Amino acid sequence: MRIKLINPNTTQRMTDAMGRCAREVAAPGTEVIAVNPTMGPPSIEGYYDEALATPGLLAEVMAGERDGCDGYVIACFGDPGLYSARELARGPVIGISPARRRAASSSTNAGARSRKMGPTRSCSVARAWPNCARKSKMRWARR
């Protein structure tokens, strides 16, 4: 199985780190291909950056389709381009936000863990979190 992990920003160092982490937990026989586009923002800090990152992300999905990838992981908190990528890909496309929520809700003591889950970054993308939670039908709790 070939899984293409796409970091939609252009920061290669982060892409390399995510690729190493994904390979450590991948099932035997799974090839993880970690890439990032050559065009787009160096980091995704909000909606504007998401819009700039989406064309490069979609180009990587199209390249993966030509190369025979079986599935895709969009490795970015806000899951930019997720639904567009699903329209292009033959196999599954999942963002790390839904994967993280699913893992938290299915873990031992899921209730306590999922209540404490929130964004994993402390930057301006935090203002996008309530909208991301609404899109995924997740409850947003303010302290």
* Confidence band of 126 (pLDDT split at 50, 70, 90): very low
14 and 77, same domain (yes or no): yes
Mean pLDDT of 106-123: 49
60 and 77, same domain (yes or no): yes
- Rounded to two decimals, what is the model's pTM? 0.75
- Is residue 143, in this structure, part of any structural domain at all? no
Range of the domain at 12: 2-97
Query: pLDDT at position 131, please?
Result: 53
Q: Which CATH number covers residue 82?
A: 3.40.50.12500
Is the pLDDT at 23 greater than 70? The verdict is yes
Is the pLDDT at 4 greater than 50? The verdict is yes
- Is residue 141, in this structure, part of any structural domain at all? no
Q: List the one residue out of 82, 6, 80 whose CA is nearest residue 46.
A: 80
Phi/psi for 43 (5° steps) reads -150, 160
Number of domains in the chain: 2
Collect contacts of 117-126 with beta carbons under 8 A, ≥24 apart. 119/77, 120/77, 121/77, 123/43, 123/45, 124/45, 124/46, 125/44, 125/45, 125/46, 125/77, 125/78
DSSP category for residue 5: E
59 and 103, same domain (yes or no): no
107 and 86, same domain (yes or no): no
In angstroms and rounded to an integer, the radius of gyration of the C-alpha atoms of the chain is 15
78 and 107, same domain (yes or no): no
Q: How far apart are CA 40 and CA 80, in angstroms?
A: 12
Are the C-beta atoms of residues 88 and 8 closer than 8 Å to each other? no
Mean pLDDT of 2-7: 98
- Is residue 29, in this structure, part of any structural domain at all? yes
93 and 109, same domain (yes or no): no
Summarize pLDDT for 32-68 with one digit per residue, the tens: 999 999 999 999 999 999 999 999 999 999 999 999 9
Summarize pLDDT for 24-34 with one digit per residue, the tens: 999 999 999 99
120 and 62, same domain (yes or no): no
Query: pLDDT at position 19, please?
Result: 96
Are the C-beta atoms of residues 22 and 5 closer than 8 Å to each other? yes
55 and 103, same domain (yes or no): no
Q: Mean pLDDT lowest for which of 30-44, 72-86, 123-137?
A: 123-137
